């Protein structure tokens, strides 16, 4: 089975690179370089008995930084004009990181996906994760997750991301068996 | 004592941003963004009984990536035209990272320092580490480390970098007591 069908991204405005961007503001290539190393495209699953397939599916972009570097997260948030910043683990004494999160689907489709389609990653790994992430977002937008077959396609693709889901707590069968 | 004297950087060629850089090759802002999250400016100390002050002082830039992402390190190395890439821990079964290293002082002075002076970091922490790193390189170029007072200045500044040297194995007094 081949997942690499062409991803249809809704046409929208992406900020172009002006001299001002390059000198005074955060530059889009800076953002790509920064996300190449530090950013994550993740598909979260949460049990929801009230939903048709018993699971909510939440694509999200996130990037964590030590609190000393919150200025970077603020600049990125300001550039995209969406998402929010929160403490990563507010109850932890050791974890002093903040995280920038975008999970609103409209923002992902209209801002995040067009941006990283235009300003591309360099590594095959990140390109691959981003393609899969975009595909899942589009599938959700088409509503394929309301059918068991669609849910399986999404779970399969999501679990092949981020080094084959090795850090996930839930196993695939736990989601697919409802 | 204030270390923030003006750093005199030798004038040299820094690649300018052309349309070609922005579209086909690695973009300098991508490099800055990538190093903001992943790169480290480090001052290493190695015991050398044959040297005047018994220690060699080795400033180095390094950046590690999983072997899946070696293409990024290759692109960065090619951009700077200096340094080398090696396995981080060749004997380890678990660590599958490679590291790009620049430690040649001429390359640091003529390529690395002018680059990050022109294309600046966003976070205060990284700006601070880079300023201190540049200062140590310039002090070494001036030869202040041949005197005990100079060695102390360098050790003090180096140990204030990278979260105040909390990951260092050697304590300051071990270097300063020779």
pLDDT confidence band for B54 (50 / 70 / 90): confident
* Domain span holding position B53: 30-176
ipTM of the assembly?
A: 0.81
Q: Which of residues 156-175 of A touch B (CB under 8 A)?
A: none
- How many Å apart are CA A82 and CA A62, to the nearest integer? 12
| Structure letter (DSSP) for residue B108 | I
| Residue A156 belongs to some domain of the structure | yes
Query: CB–CB of B36 and A32 under 8 A?
Result: no
Residue A12: alpha-carbon gap to chain centroid = 18
* DSSP line for A109-176: IIIIHHHHHHS--SSHHHHHHHHHHHHHHHHHHHTGGGSHHHHHHHHHHHTTHHHHHTT-SS-HHHHH
Lowest-confidence segment of A3-12, B21-30, B150-159 by average pLDDT: A3-12
CATH number of the domain bearing residue B76: 3.10.28.10
pTM of the model: 0.82
Residue of A nearest to B71 (CA): A123
Query: CB–CB of A71 and B30 under 8 A?
Result: no
| Residue A118 belongs to some domain of the structure | yes
* pLDDT at residue A113, as a whole number: 97
- How many Å apart are CA A90 and CA B24, to the nearest integer? 42
pLDDT of B118 above 50: yes
Going by C-beta distance under 8 Å and a sequence separation of 6 or more, which residues neighbour residue B171? Answer: none
Structure-model confidence comparison of residues B97 and A47, the more confident one: B97
Instruction: Give the pair of three-digit tokens for residue B158.
Output: 């180096």
| Residue A157 belongs to some domain of the structure | yes
* pLDDT at residue B178, as a whole number: 61
Low-confidence stretches of chain A (pLDDT < 50) are: 1-24
Contact of A17 with chain B, judged by CB distance below 8 Å, is answered with yes
- How many Å apart are CA A45 and CA B172, to the nearest integer? 49
Which residues in chain B touch residue A65, judged by CB atoms under 8 angstroms apart? 37, 123
- Tell me the average pLDDT across B135-159: 90
| Residue B37 belongs to some domain of the structure | yes
Mutation target for A interface from B22, B23, B31, B34: give the one with most A CBs within 10 A. Answer: B34
| Residue B16 belongs to some domain of the structure | no
Task: Give me the residue label for tokens 């975008």.
Answer: A102
- Min distance A70 CA to chain B CA atoms (Å): 8
| Residue B83 belongs to some domain of the structure | yes
pLDDT, one tens digit per residue, over B55-92 is 889 999 999 998 888 999 999 999 999 999 999 888 88
pLDDT confidence band for B33 (50 / 70 / 90): very high
Q: Is B71 helix (H, G, I), strand (E, B) or coil?
A: helix
pLDDT confidence band for B138 (50 / 70 / 90): very high
Which residues in chain B touch residue A15, judged by CB atoms under 8 angstroms apart? none
How many domains is chain B partitioned into structurally? 1
- How many Å apart are CA B82 and CA B98, to the nearest integer? 16
Q: What whole-number percentage of chain A has pLDDT above 90?
A: 54
* pLDDT at residue B140, as a whole number: 94
Which residues in chain A touch residue B123, judged by CB atoms under 8 angstroms apart? 65, 68-69, 71-72
pLDDT of B25 above 80: no
Contact of A24 with chain B, judged by CB distance below 8 Å, is answered with no
Q: Which of residues 79-138 of B touch A (CB under 8 A)?
A: 122-126
pLDDT confidence band for B169 (50 / 70 / 90): confident
| Residue B168 belongs to some domain of the structure | yes
- How many Å apart are CA B61 and CA B29, to the nearest integer? 17
Contact of B29 with chain A, judged by CB distance below 8 Å, is answered with yes
| Residue B7 belongs to some domain of the structure | no
Residue of B nearest to A23 (CA): B119
Q: What whole-number percentage of chain B has pLDDT above 90?
A: 55
- Tell me the average pLDDT across B138-164: 88
The beta-carbon neighbor of B33 closest among A33, A65, A71 is: A33
- How many Å apart are CA A106 and CA B40, to the nearest integer? 37
Query: CB–CB of A68 and B122 under 8 A?
Result: no
Instruction: Give the pair of three-digit tokens for residue A110.
Output: 């209209």
* pLDDT at residue B9, as a whole number: 43
The mean pLDDT of chain B is 83
Question: Is-contact B151 B53, C-beta < 8 A?
Answer: yes
């Amino acid at each position: 089975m081949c997942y690499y069908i062409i991803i249809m991204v809704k046409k929208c405005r992406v900020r172009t690179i002006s001299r001002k961007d390059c000198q005074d503001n955060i530059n889009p290539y800076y953002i790509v370089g920064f996300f190449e190393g530090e950013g994550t495209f993740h598909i979260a699953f949460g049990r929801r008995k009230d939903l048709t397939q018993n699971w909510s599916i939440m694509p999200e972009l996130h990037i964590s930084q030590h609190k000393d570097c919150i200025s970077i997260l603020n600049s990125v948030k300001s550039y995209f004009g969406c998402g929010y910043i929160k403490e990563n683990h507010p109850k932890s004494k050791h974890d002093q990181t903040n995280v920038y999160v975008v999970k609103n689907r409209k923002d992902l489709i209209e801002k995040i996906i067009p941006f990283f389609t235009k300003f591309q990653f360099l590594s095959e790994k990140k390109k691959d994760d981003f393609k899969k992430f975009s595909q899942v977002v589009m599938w959700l937008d088409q509503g394929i997750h309301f059918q068991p077959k669609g849910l399986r396609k999404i779970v399969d693709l999501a679990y092949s991301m981020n080094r084959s889901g090795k850090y996930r707590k839930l196993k695939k069968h736990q989601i697919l068996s409802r």
